[in-house]
Amino acid sequence: MHMQPELLQEARRQAEICNACRYCEGYCSVFPALHAERAFADGDLTQLANLCHNCRGCYYACQYTAPHEFALNLPAALAEVRQDSWQAHAWPRGFARLFDRAGLAMMVLLVLGFAGLFALSQMLRPESGHGFYAYMSHGVMVAIFVPAFFLPLCALAVSLRAFWRTVGGGAVTLSALVQALQSAGQMRNLKGGHGDGCNFEAEDRFSHARRHCHQAVLVGFLLCFAATGSATLMHYLFGLEAPYGPLSLPKLLGVPGGILLCCGAAGMVWLKLRADRTLGAVAYWGGEMAFVLLLFLVAASGLVLWAATGTSAVAVLLPLHLGAVLSFFLLTPYSKMAHGFYRMAALLRDALRKDPGMR
Amino acid sequence: MLKRNEQYDVVVIGGGNAALCAAMTAARTGARVLILESAPKAYRGGNSRHTRNFRCMHGGPLGPLVESYSEEEYFADLMKVTGGKTDEHLARLAIRSSEECLPWMIEHGVRFQPSLSGTLSLARTNAFFLGGGKSLVNAYYRTAARLGVEVQYEAEVTHLELDGNRVAHIDYRKDGQARRVTPSSVVVASGGFQADTDWLARAWGPAAKNFLIRGTPYNRGLVLADLLEQGVEQVGDPTQCHAVAIDGRAPKFDGGIVTRLDCVPFSIVVNKDAERFYDEGEDVWPKRYAIWGRLVAAQPDQVGYVIIDAKSLNLFMPSVFPPIAANTLEELADKMGLPPAKLRATVEGFNAACGDTSAFHPTELDGVTTQGLTPPKTNWARPISEPPFYGYSLRTGVTFTYLGLKVDEKAQCSIHDTKINNLWAAGETMAGSILGQGYLAGFGMTIGTVFGRIAGKEAAAHAYAT
């Protein structure tokens, strides 16, 4: 795995200063993990970088930030290494460069997806079908989205396997997995140790805004995913085809999911606009913002599509929604979406570090 | 041109812990409060930025503190480190008040955490700030803003005009302009004078020019000097300061906690002539680090060199700069600018004086001592024999000075044996009223919090009475 040595070296310089201070020990999982080391190998730094949730508590509490000559900015140093680690582990290798142009890639895929799906729905419009199946048959959708969903996941699996080697992960235990899931489920690392939340949108003021918005996105996304999953099961196991009524499982999951996702993503955009960009990987701010906007578009277009059922707008809204979903799926391993997978791996690695059975 | 500001009830000079405690306390009574902080916002908070805990009396488990810590035990700890040079009345007042301070601190935004790794011995006596002193300072500035306290940064007070036994007005500079305020009450909480190395040199002699200042470069003692020149009562010996031995490569100012070196007990320490000068193993490091500042200050060029070998490298907390490493003593001497033959002779002499090291225990007084060596090393004496060899340079790092304003139990200042009826002092600038020498970890924040609150309360009450 080839990572940029100057980014690693800067993170190492800062981690060594942090290790001599230790005032931030209580903020998050990064510091206990950092203080357990005396020297920082590239893999250690990669692990710390992916464990960091960018809560910024350490930055605002730090007596060594610029203009001090030590010029600490650990959230930014770790964000740079984190971003670089995703690129270094991306597979196939050639796609790693998509990270550098995430916003552009999303736009291009969105436009191509929309245009292609629109053309397809016009050319191969089914003889019969209800709801959106009147525009595109189930078979066509499956033919497009099954590979568009599974191939990126396979690519990610290859990346994560390599990442696991980089960070020195061993055999996974059930208790470590449970701990990692609990940590992610509560976004424990954005609570600030004292439970007052993190620093993000208003300098050193602690708030739960980012944690709540992130969880709205995460839960909303999972609900939407569950809605699609339940619809698939209903289709194949019970022969119940879309469109589904308002009290059906896909709608009961999907509508609140879509609303949560919209609200969460909108909140994240608002927070991101207020936060100090220099405490993250500055060059990737645009790509991250594009990713949040794409998530918003996926959810919002889905909700609008549902509201427009039966109208002629579906002809346009369906390809728009599906185009957004396609862009999102295909770029999962090469955009900010990848963070969720690497973050889970890092949390798992950290839980294993603390697991007495592993010592 | 002098510019007349709006009327304030209380002006607090300084922007650290004591100043903020005074400002918040006064503001809570409804007073209009202005803080004049000489540092820019990024460096606000004085030495409080570098602190990390608060020593607190408690009758039972309290917040992060376990068990209990009585007034008597606390006072006894203080007497031990100050060698009896303590004002018992004020010290006991600080100790007794500390217990009610801790919940007050939490109420005003401070968050505590369990003792940091490597400091477990303090879990009973000292409450650690989550994120350290700057996070405390940040929380207090936020609370102060909510309470309506106004803050001016880069506002350097140049003069307090004394009119008999009251302060008539305050002159300060901001944005290149001379300004004046005429508050009803004034609280001085602007620290010691340690960042003024000329003043240090007047007290210490030219050696002081080689000292490093561990904290803020903004504590130059301008207000202290102005008040002392006008005859305000002073306390403390100008040569007394809290000084420790820190990494010689540390920045001149503001190096803080990360420049400390904990390796002395496992080393030999030599001066620039490669000669040992003191028992490195006299006691456990937390009880000895504060004397090494003075020991190093007494050596030629005020510099020392710590020498360890490979087997000791992982026995102490890492510090900010990596050690200088070499495969032979001569190479190490070269890299550190020491006479190589002399260093080898000193190390060989030391090694020959080491005896049975089987009882070596890094965290206890192990009695592993040298025989027939002057000065001896009375614990942890193991030969320096296993390459690579490592070295650090040591310099005197001044934390704060003790010369300050004399106050009474109401934090009030005096002039010619009369109270100055609208001037109070809190924090490092009056700590000499309580401690004459020595230092107890976390006690500076106790003095700042207790006397800051007293000063704020008294200052506001005076403002209402006039």
Query: Residues 25 to 44 of A: which have CB under 8 A from any B CB?
Result: 25-27, 32, 35, 38
> Which of A32, A60, A194 minimises the CB distance to B138?
A60
Which residues in chain A land under pLDDT 50?
358-359
Beta strands in chain A (DSSP E): 198-199, 206-207
Q: What confidence score (pLDDT) does residue A359 get?
A: 44
The alpha carbon of residue A197 is apart from the nearest alpha carbon of chain B, in Å, by: 12
B23 Rama sector, left if φ>0, alpha if ψ -120 to 50, beta otherwise: alpha
Residue in B50, B116, B314 closest to A63 by CB: B50
The CA distances from residue B159 to A135, A209, B170, B171, in Å, are: 82, 46, 6, 5
pLDDT at A356: 63
CA geometry: angle A23, B154, B131, nearest 5 deg: 10
Domain B243-397 grouped into CATH 3.30.565.10: no
Predicted TM-score of the model (pTM): 0.95
**Contact status of A193 with chain B (Cβ, < 8 Å):** yes
A-chain CB neighbours of B140 within 8 Å are none
Kindly list the domain boundaries of chain B, sorted by start residue. Answer: 3-237+402-465, 243-397
- In total, the C-beta contacts within 8 angstroms joining chain A to chain B are 84
* Shortest distance, CA B334 to any CA of chain A (angstroms): 26
From chain B, the residues in CB contact with A62 under 8 A are 134
Distance from CA of B317 to the nearest CA of A (A): 7
The pLDDT tens digits along chain B (466 residues) read 334 446 899 999 999 999 999 999 999 999 999 999 999 999 999 999 999 999 999 999 999 999 999 999 999 999 988 888 899 999 999 999 999 999 999 999 999 998 777 666 788 999 999 999 999 999 999 999 999 999 999 999 999 999 999 999 999 999 999 999 999 999 999 999 999 999 999 988 999 999 999 999 999 999 999 999 999 999 998 888 889 999 999 999 999 999 999 999 999 999 999 999 999 999 988 778 888 999 999 999 999 999 999 999 999 988 899 999 999 999 999 999 999 999 999 999 999 999 999 999 998 999 999 999 999 999 999 999 999 999 999 999 999 999 999 999 999 999 999 999 999 999 999 999 998 888 888 999 999 999 999 999 999 999 999 8
Q: Of all residues in chain A, what percent are helix, strand and coil, respectively (each to 5)?
A: 70, 0, 25
Chain B contact for A57, CB < 8 A?
Answer: yes
pLDDT of B204 reads 87
pLDDT digits over A169-179, tens only?
A: 999 999 999 99
Topology of the domain comprising B3-237+402-465: FAD/NAD(P)-binding domain (3.50.50)
Peptide bond into B375 cis (omega under 30): yes
How many angstroms separate the CA atoms of B121 and B1, rounded?
56
Q: Which of A21, A22, A23, A28 to mutate to test the interface with B (most CBs of B within 10 A)?
A: A23
Residues in B touching A205 (Cβ below 8 Å): 142
Listed in sequence order, the residues at least 6 apart from B403 whose beta carbon sits closer than 8 Å to its beta carbon are B192, B193, B203, B224, B234, B235, B236, B237, B238, B240, B432
Span between the terminal Cα atoms of chain A, in Å? 26
SS3 for B427? helix
